[in-house]
Structure 1
Amino acid sequence: MLFLASISREAFDEIAWPFKLQLSTENVWDVFVLLALLRDYDEHTVCLTVPHQGMQKDQFKAAMEERNECIVHIGQPEINHICDGCMRVYEVKHSDGKISHEKCQPIVSDGITLGHACCGVFRCTQPLQNNCDRFCAEHCGLHNTCAITGCDHPIRCNDVKTCDNRDHQQMEQLHYAKATSAFALSERLLCYRVAYPDDALGTEAPDVTTADLPDASVSLGPAVVEENIEWYTVKDGQVSYRFEKNPGSVGVLEEGDEGLGDIALTSSEPCNAKSDASNRKFRAQFGRQRTHNEQTAVRTLTLNGAEAVSNVLDFIKTIFSVQGAHKPEHFIYDTACDAKQQVDARGDKWWADVKMCVDLLNADGTGWWFNMSVAKQINVWLGSYHAICREMLPTKYNFFLDEMIRLHNIFTVQSLQLRALNPHPSQAEQTMELDEQAK
Structure 2
Amino acid sequence: MTNRHQFCPDHQDLNQQCAVDGCDEVHTSGFRTCSNADHRALGDAYFKPEKALFQLRARLKRAGITLPLDSVPSPSDSGSSNPNSADEDLEVILDSECDGKPENGNRHLRARFGQRRTHNEQLIMRPCGVILARATFFGSEAVSAVYEFAKTVFPTAASTPEYFVFDNNCKLRAHQDAIGDDHFAATGMPVDVFHFNSKHKEIDTYCQQHCNSAAFPELISGGKWRFNTSICEQTNVWLGGYQAILWDMPVHQYNFISMR
Smaller-chain TM-score bracket:
0.5 to 0.7
Shift, 1:296, TM fit:
0.9
Q: Measure, in 2, the Cα distance between the counterparts of 1:341 and 1:223.
A: 37
Of the three residues 165, 173, 190, the one matched with 1:332 is 165
Q: Please name the residue that 1:30 is paired with.
A: none
Q: Measure, in 2, the Cα distance between the counterparts of 1:329 and 1:321.
A: 14
Q: Please name the residue that 1:385 is paired with.
A: 242
Q: Please name the residue that 2:16 is paired with.
A: 144
Shift, 1:342, TM fit:
0.7
Q: Please name the residue that 2:153 is paired with.
A: 319
Q: Deviations over 1:324-369 (max 9, x none)?
A: x943122111221211111111122422332322234437773323
Q: Please name the residue that 2:125 is paired with.
A: 298
Q: How well do the aligned residues superpose, as a CA RMSD in angstroms?
A: 3.4
Of the three residues 146, 155, 167, the one matched with 2:38 is 167
Question: What is the identity, as a one-letter code, of the residue corresponding to 1:302?
Answer: G
Q: Residues 212-223 of structure 1 correspond to what in structure 2 (within 5 A)?
A: none
User: 1 or 2 for the larger relative contact order (CA 8 Å, sep ≥6)?
Assistant: 1
Q: Measure, in 2, the Cα distance between the counterparts of 1:278 and 1:299.
A: 47
Of the three residues 55, 60, 72, the one matched with 1:187 is 55
More displaced stretch, 376-385 vs 129-138: 129-138
Of the three residues 355, 370, 374, the one matched with 2:188 is 355
Q: Does 1:231 pair with 2:92?
A: yes
Change (3 A) 1:161 1:332: same
Q: Please name the residue that 1:394 is paired with.
A: 251
Contact 1:132/1:222 (CA < 8 Å) preserved in 2?
A: no
Q: Deviations over 1:98-152 (max 9, x none)?
A: xxxxxxxxxxxxxxxxxxxxxxxxxxxxxxx533332344544433321112222
Contact 1:171/1:232 (CA < 8 Å) preserved in 2?
A: no
Of the three residues 15, 19, 25, the one matched with 1:153 is 25
Change (3 A) 1:320 1:139: farther
Q: Measure, in 1, the Cα distance between the counterparts of 2:165 and 2:155.
A: 18
Shift, 1:165, TM fit:
2.1
Higher helix share: 2
Q: Secondary structure at the match of 2:178?
A: helix
Q: Secondary structure at the match of 2:249?
A: coil
Q: Measure, in 1, the Cα distance between the counterparts of 2:35 and 2:13.
A: 18
Contact 1:234/1:281 (CA < 8 Å) preserved in 2?
A: no
Q: Measure, in 1, the Cα distance between the counterparts of 2:41 and 2:169.
A: 44
Q: Measure, in 2, the Cα distance between the counterparts of 1:363 and 1:400.
A: 34
Contact 2:127/2:229 (CA < 8 Å) preserved in 1?
A: yes
Q: Please name the residue that 2:233 is paired with.
A: 376
Q: Measure, in 2, the Cα distance between the counterparts of 1:223 and 1:381.
A: 22
Change (3 A) 1:138 1:223: farther
TM-score, normalised with respect to structure 2: 0.66
Contact 2:52/2:84 (CA < 8 Å) preserved in 1?
A: no
Structure 1, unmatched stretches of 5+, are 1-128, 195-218, 237-274, 404-439
Shift, 1:317, TM fit:
1.0
Amino-acid identity (%): 36
Contact 1:361/1:367 (CA < 8 Å) preserved in 2?
A: no
Q: Secondary structure at the match of 1:281?
A: strand
Q: Does 1:308 pair with 2:142?
A: yes
Q: Secondary structure at the match of 2:19?
A: coil
Q: Deviations over 1:302-324 (max 9, x none)?
A: 111222111111111112239xx
Contact 1:155/1:163 (CA < 8 Å) preserved in 2?
A: yes
Q: How many residue pairs were aligned? A: 208
Q: Measure, in 2, the Cα distance between the counterparts of 1:173 and 1:361.
A: 55
Question: What is the identity, as a one-letter code, of the residue corresponding to 1:287?
Answer: G
Contact 1:147/1:285 (CA < 8 Å) preserved in 2?
A: yes
Q: Please name the residue that 1:23 is paired with.
A: none
Change (3 A) 1:146 1:229: closer
Change (3 A) 1:276 1:341: closer
